Amino acid sequence: MHAEDLLRRYLEQRRDQGEVELVLDTLSVEDVMQIIGAARRGRADAAPTPPAPGDWRHALRSAGAEVSTATPARRPLEPAPLEAPTAPAALPPDGLVVGTEGNELFGGELAHCQTIDDVAALIKGCRKCDLYRTAKHPVPGEGSAAARLVCVGEAPGASEDETGRPFVGQAGMLLTKILEAIKLSRDEAFIVNVLKHRPPGNRNPLPTEVDACRPYLIRQLEIIRPSVIVAFGTFAAQTLLDTKLSISKLRGAIHRYHGIPVVVTYHPAALLRNPAWKRPTWEDVQLARRLLDGVRK
């Protein structure tokens, strides 16, 4: 059987199946014309009839196929429209929530803060969670706005609440010594907590309080742009790194917080209770020192 007969039969089958439109698939018009032309050249009894360039209907008609000149009705390709529900569907259950309704990402108050002092002023008047009601003073953080190292702790304790300063009291004095051990004064670093008001009775911060307060820390880090962050204690590490892993699993690695290297170590208050952790803490801050030495701001 000649190629044009095969092609005609194929087209007839498709028409019988209800198709009114020729879809060339991967064949171009020229491909079809070549097939037909080659078939006709191969038939001794047929004079070659060059088809009009680009006119596949003419080419097929020349090959003997019945081709309508009318534009075929387009078969609807779209799926049938969905039937309108008889009753409004119930809303799906609540999903995950990231951030607060303050819309810090889209030009909220924090987006206008250009300095550490701007952020501190906002914290002073913050009412985003209930901790301000029981705290005596906000503790926004202190140190150099150009610090290459930021120390992040959990939340203010009693001494911090009294003074409005982070890491004071015995744990604060130990932090000062830790920094001196890596040749940094407190003034050269920036010292801050995840929460800016003291939870009553030093209880663990609630997730809603962390979510409400986290944007302040993020903005502080954005403004300071430190070379290294040291997370002191489980809570600071888990909050910064958004993980539930224990501090023993987080230590000894260089994590990243928005690209900034993060070293995890024990909280100075924990060192006061467990002196055996002093040595690993020493190793951790030495790692921070090495990162500082290798990273120029």
Closer of 64 and 102 to ligand SF4 (Cβ): 102
8 A C-beta contact, residue 254 and residue 263: yes
Q: Is 196 in the site for ligand SF4 (CB under 6 A)?
A: yes
**How far apart are the C-alpha atoms of 10 and 35, rounded to whole Å?**
14
Closer of 209 and 284 to ligand SF4 (Cβ): 209
Closer of 97 and 146 to ligand SF4 (Cβ): 97
Q: Is 40 in the site for ligand SF4 (CB under 6 A)?
A: no
Q: For the stretch 63-78, what's the b/e string if a residue is b when 16 or more beta carbons lie within 10 angstroms of its beta carbon?
A: bebebeeeeeeeeeee
Among 8, 128, 251, 267, binds ligand SF4 (CB under 6 A): 128
What percent helix, strand, coil does the chain show, rounded to 5? 45, 10, 45
Among 120, 147, 195, 217, binds ligand SF4 (CB under 6 A): 195
At 67, is the secondary structure helix, strand, or coil? coil
Q: Which residues, other chains included, contact 27 with Cβ-Cβ below 8 Å and sequence gap of 6+?
A: none
Closer of 132 and 282 to ligand SF4 (Cβ): 132
Minimum separation from the CB atom of position 214 to ligand SF4 (A): 8
Q: Is 260 in the site for ligand SF4 (CB under 6 A)?
A: no
Q: Is 113 in the site for ligand SF4 (CB under 6 A)?
A: no
Among 3, 14, 39, 132, binds ligand SF4 (CB under 6 A): 132
Q: Which stretch binds ligand SF4 (CB under 6 A): 38-46, 58-66, 129-137, 256-264?
A: 129-137
CA atoms within 13 A on the CB side of 51: 24
Closer of 207 and 294 to ligand SF4 (Cβ): 207
Q: Is 129 in the site for ligand SF4 (CB under 6 A)?
A: yes
Q: Is 126 in the site for ligand SF4 (CB under 6 A)?
A: yes
- Phi then psi for residue 91, to 5 deg, are -65, 145
Q: Is 219 in the site for ligand SF4 (CB under 6 A)?
A: no
**How far apart are the C-alpha atoms of 149 and 288, rounded to whole Å?**
8
Name residue 142's amino acid: E
Q: Is 123 in the site for ligand SF4 (CB under 6 A)?
A: yes
Q: What is the DSSP letter of 222?
A: H
Q: Kind of pairing, strands 260-265 and 255-257?
A: antiparallel
| Binding track over 64-103 against ligand SF4, x by CB under 6 A | ----------------------------------------
**How far apart are the C-alpha atoms of 218 and 224, rounded to whole Å?**
10
Burial of 276 (0-12, 13-18, 19+ CB in 10 A): exposed
Binding site for ligand SF4 (CB under 6 A): 123, 126, 128-129, 131-132, 195-197, 209, 212-213
